[in-house]
């Protein structure tokens, strides 16, 4: 699981970030980032029924996402809500190593996309 201090728990905040956040994609992982006014990073891992039909597959995908972001928690913007999900079902199943590689590329894409830009409040 995502460490408690980083969890985005409020369902309305997750929905707001998913609807109005800026999309980033890398490999099979997608992220929606919405800036907030407080100075903390909050992260949610979701998996859609459209992508993973069985509940056991959705739960496994969420666990793999939350485990693969732990090394990269410091790489996300400091004042943002981040919602992570799989954009499509990977061929050959969901793996921890491939998801970690996708998250690493996603963090690099996010940081390069926000360099030199004004952050929204």
Q: CA 1, 16, 29: angle at the middle one, nearest 5?
A: 50
What's the confidence (pLDDT) of residue 118?
Answer: 45
Threshold 0.95, pTM exceeds: no
- Interval 44-74: pLDDT, tens: 999 989 989 999 999 999 999 999 999 998 8
What's the confidence (pLDDT) of residue 94?
Answer: 84
Alpha-carbon distance values, 89 to 24, 29, 81, 83, 86 (Å): 17, 10, 24, 17, 7
Domains recognised in the chain with CATH numbers: 4-113 (3.30.230.10)
Say whether pLDDT at 112 is over 70.
yes
Say whether pLDDT at 80 is over 80.
yes
CA distance 120 to 73: 21
Instruction: Tell me the pLDDT of the chain averaged across its residues.
Output: 85
- Interval 83-101: pLDDT, tens: 999 988 777 678 889 889 8
Q: Which residues contact 92 (CB under 8 A, 6 or more apart)?
A: none
What's the confidence (pLDDT) of residue 116?
Answer: 38
What's the confidence (pLDDT) of residue 117?
Answer: 42
């Amino acid at each position: 699981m995502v460490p408690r201090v980083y969890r985005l728990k409020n369902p309305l905040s997750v929905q707001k970030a998913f609807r109005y956040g800026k999309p980033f994609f890398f490999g099979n992982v997608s992220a929606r980032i919405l800036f907030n006014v407080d100075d903390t990073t909050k992260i949610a891992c979701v998996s859609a029924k459209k992508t993973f039909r069985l509940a056991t597959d959705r739960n496994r995908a969420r666990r793999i996402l939350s485990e693969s972001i732990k090394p990269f928690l410091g790489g996300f913007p400091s004042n943002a809500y981040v919602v992570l999900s799989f954009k499509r079902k990977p061929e050959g199943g969901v793996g921890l190593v491939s998801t970690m590689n996708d998250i690493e590329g996603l963090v690099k894409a996010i940081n390069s996309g926000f360099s030199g830009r004004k952050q929204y409040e």
